[in-house]
Each structure stands twice: as C-alpha cells, then as structure tokens.
Structure 1
C-alpha cells in the first residue's frame, strides 16, 4: 500500500487545491448517494458501498472537472468560448458547466455518436458539430476550430484543473464513509482515478491513516498495466469493448504520474464480466449504470479484488443508450447462463417437438424462440435441426436442462 507523506512533493494538485475545487464545484454538483450493497458485501466478505455518481447531474462525474477548469478562465477566454471533443459524458459535462457560467460551448462529436447523448449535450446549451466517423476525426476538427477561433480547448482528463475537480469525489467519499479501507475506481485516460486517489490519500494521511485505491480497466482497452510496467505512458491497440467510456489507447501524462504515485493496483475485467455487473446493479441495487461505470462492480464479482475491508465502489456514470443497454443485458444474461441458446438435431418424424416441449416444461425453462428447419448444411438428410432460446434461473438450472435433454437421447450444443 502506498504511504503518502503530506509534507513531500507530489505530482498534480495538492490537498489545498482539491479543497478549493470542492468549494468551486459545490454550487453545481450534487453530493451523490452512498448505498450499502448487501449482495456485493456477501461476495467480497466485507462491507461494499456504492458511490452513485451515475446519479450526478449530467449523469456522470465529468461535470466536476469541467466546471472547475472553466471557472478559472479569464474574462477574455470566456468571451472566446470553449471547445471539446467527445462522444458522451465529457461532452455533457462541458456543455452544462459552460451554460452555468455563461460561456459559449462548441462540442465536436463523431457522426456515429448515440442520438440520446447528442440531444442531451445540445439540451445543455452546446452547439454540436458532427464530424467524421470516429472520435479521432472529431478531435482533429475540434483542434482545428480552436486554432481558427482562439477558443479554449477543454481536455477530458489530462489537465491540472480537471484532475482537481474530479478529486472532489475522493474528498466526498471520505466525508460520507470515513472508515473506508479500499476505493475502487474506473480508469480510462486516468483523470478520475488520479483525482480520487490523490485527494483521498492526501486527506487520509492528514488524518493519520492509510487507504488502498484500486483502478479497474476493461481488458480490451487496458493501457495502464503496460504503461506502469514501462514506467511511462504507452500507446496500445485497443480492442472493441462495451465500456467505450474508458476505451483510451494512451494514459494522460499528468494522470499517469499521479496514478503511479497514488494507485496501489490496476486490475482488468472482460466485457462479459461488465455485462453481468450491469445486470446485478439493475436487479439488486435498482441502478442504471453504463458499462464504463460498472467495471468496479465487475471487479468485485469476479474476485479481481480481495481482502479489501470496507470498500467503496465508484459507479462513475449512468449515460447509456437504451439500444446498447438492451444488447448488454442480453449479453449479460447469456454470460450468466440465464439465457440459453441450444442447437441440436432431431429425428425427422412426428412428435419430436412435443417431446422437447415436455422436457422444457418439466424443467421449468421458459421458451423465448424456436427455429425448426431441414435446410442447414450440417443436418443429416433424415433429420431436422432445432434451435431453442430459453431463459433459466442460472448456471445450475441451465445444466439440469441440458442433462435432461441428453438423458432423452438428444445431443444439445450451446450456441
């Protein structure tokens, strides 16, 4: 565990700067709830509290950093306006902060950005420019606009004042849960993790105690483990991930320096782990959390975090496209074997569907969809193929159903 000497030189904001940021952002943010999760506590073997930043204004923590940075702009800079590039939470945070401060904002978003996020950003008062098919194209357009107009570019994470604003969440956690032993925080570029870890650890050192901070990344976009091993920010090739809010190929320079000083460990979780976590939060905590915000819950559910003591799991955002949420829920149900797709061959004679239906009924499996065909190339000429989609109560129930089909002489294969 990292030990912090509050008298030493540290990278990034000081505790005094975090406290000043807390005063600055107080008029616009709302202290978000801290909810005890008995379900996750039973899994971890110690109390788990959910820091519900998904319930923050604009639906994510980003407002903290954006407002703190924009509040420090000069009158001349405010007159020229601000610019950002984002497909999601950063866009909404900047738009809302600028509107509150009476500053014009222009947000560049890729043309494929989710419509609800585009509309929300526009509703917060920003002028939207849709450019290119990916984030990099939108970013390049934003930088060109800054060069043309003299507007101030608002980076998503790699800025001293942004980190200071995000760190107000760390101070808030210690105020709400002073006995916390471990804080779990999502990591993308690193602004949130850097701010929370630094602020919380500096405050804990002032109180004469230590806490542990663990960062969590999606395994398809985990730039921090190789960067920390190399001792410098390293660019990786990211893979597609449902946690697009933290899919960053290279750590920010300032967040990296802070994280390697203050964060004790970085773990990764898979997309299936994240999907299961989203379902658990929906069912057990009644919370809608976006994939990037659910990685800390996934780390608990997979056992990536152990011996944590009293733990705070940060749910960093709740802005998720309903269509994406539908797919993620489906993925999570499949990953937890509560939604089962079965393919098998049946003898081509009357009564076979009735037999299968009876087995499903006896095992109390609910049929969602049935595909029955003679035209699959892998099916023998004297057989028919059937593909079943059923819901079950979990892995044990799913295995009982498969065993029942095998006892009846069939050879079911999970799809």
Structure 2
C-alpha cells in the first residue's frame, strides 16, 4: 500500500466566506470578516470584536432532528464534512463503513449549548435541561456526530491542543491512512462566540481590546496588541494516494508530506522554545530542505513576544526574508482549533492556483526580518507550503503539504 496521503476534498466555513470558493475569492481580495460581535451584546466586555460567520442557516443543510442535539460548532462541522465529501466526489454510504474514519480537533467544545442548558438549570430547574447536554458540549462530539451521520465505523478520535490541535489531528488522520484506513475526514470547526465562551477566552489575557477592526489584530506589527477570536475552520478528506487514484478522484489538492510537534520548556527556564525544531523536523519528515518551501503560513499570534519567537524561528531556518510568509487569518481572526486546517486549505489552494494570499492591515516592524506578503496576493508557483500552529501552554506544530504530480 502507498504511504502517500493526499487531500481530495475541502469543506470550509470562515468569517469571510462560507464555502470553498467564496472563502478563497474573499481571501485573495483581502476582504475581512472581522467586526463587532453580533451573536450577543458585547457592550459590557472589554473585547468586542470577532470573526463571525454570517449567513449560516443550519436548518437549510441539516435534518430537523439534529438541530436540538447540536451546538453551533457541530452544525458547522457536519455541514463542512458534507461539503468536503461532495468536493471529493464521495458518497459516504457507498463506501464500506470500516474503510472511513474521523479525526477532529477541538479547543473549547460546545460552549454555547452548554451555556444555554446551564442557564435553564439555574433559572428553571433540572427538569428543563436537555438530555443532549450530556454530549453536545463535549470535545469529541464533532467526530462522533460526523461518524454517525455518514456511517463511518473506522478509527475515530479527537485531539485537544488549542490551535496546534488543528495540525495534530490531520497528522493523526495521516497516521491512520498509513496504517490501512483508506479514507479519513479530519480538521476542525470551532465556535464559542457566546458570553460564557467570551469570558473564558478573555481570561487568557491575549485578546485585543481595540475597537477598530482594521487595527485590532496585527501580527508582526509594532502596534500588535493581541488577537481577535473567530469561529469556523475546515474539514479535509484525506486518502491513501492509491485509493484516490483507483476511484478516479477529481481533486487531488496535494500531499501531506511532513509533520512534527514539539513542546516549549516551562516559562523562566531560559531554554529555547520548540517552534524552530518543529519546523526542522517537519522538513525532515517531508524529505525537504528549506529551499523547497515556497511559502510559510504563520501562526501569527498578534503579540510582541510570540511574534518575535515565530519570526526568529522562520528566519533561523530560511534566512532573513528567505521565504514568503503570510497570515490570512488576519481576515478571520484566530479560529482556535479551526485555524490551522483553514490555513492548510489555503495552502492547498495556493498550490492549485499558483498564488499566495495576503496578510491585511499589517505594517511589519523592523525587528522582524520576514518577507510578509502584503498589499494583495502574490502570484508565484507554489510547489510546497509550510503551515505553523501554536497552542496556549507551549504546543508547537508544523506541517508540510506539497504538489502531487498527476
């Protein structure tokens, strides 16, 4: 069996575009989805901006029986999986149930569902709490609901490592494909823009308090003041390359060719962080050199110290201004576990179309000697891309995707 794992389907839901082509056209045009929170009144909170998905009506895509069971993030995940299957040209119920598996990531679980049920408990009593609360809030619920809806009885898992989890779970899916499962759905959708989720996110101390959507999230900028949270992400269909070839897959966006994860030392230890090593190990796993990488999709924390660390790791591996760097999440906000799969999708679309999406609103500070793609997309043949993701608490992940010769 081939050890090559390829991406054959993409399902995207992002603040600046619902669906693959809508997201991609908005991203190349530099259109942002960041604005004032509308899902609740944020007036009493210090942070009031988010990347929200507009126009998503779950009842148009899902059966009514699923709506009372599911949080917004799960509805996005179910629809994203449907779109990924359709993009891959796969009808799940026509595939053997044990030949399909699911691996997703989660950051916070079904916060909004949990908030609503706890509100009912406090205000009305336990008899008014939905039985679905027992699982609708849970980190693994997206994997479970996707597998049930599509009759998938292969490997099923969830990873929780903040934003890094979005890459870690794709690596887990690749691992399952290499072990013999021909097809895996992987990636993540997150959605925790509700008062309870907002307070939890604000507690990190990393949210931007700016009220200007154009100046609130500025990674690698001298005016960086934190990040703007968002909702959404991407689901990907991964297949064994031979399986994709034999069934005549229409789309083969690229190969997941390299991955690594490291963990930072404890704060105050004065030891180097692990991001550079994650990059080097991912390149080694992909049997690639720094010169083989055409673009880096940055984690883009949006705060001076983590930005300095990331820029330093990139320049240490690739040299000063040695590779184009981009952060299209400046148009969506940081989507937690959904951010890295969305960046992976953007990297694969960059390979498909030969164009690197821009980073918006940022003016790179002199201390960061990186070639940040700004002022519009950059036309450039992209054969291989590196995607970086870091999670709160010290998680570092790096993944290489490359063009597949057909």
- The TM-score with structure 1 as length reference comes to 0.24
Structure 1 or 2, whichever has the larger Rg, is 1
Q: If each structure's helix is expressed as a fraction of its own residues, which one has the higher value?
A: 1
Which of 1 and 2 has higher RCO (CA within 8 Å, sep 6+)? 2
- The TM-score with structure 2 as length reference comes to 0.25
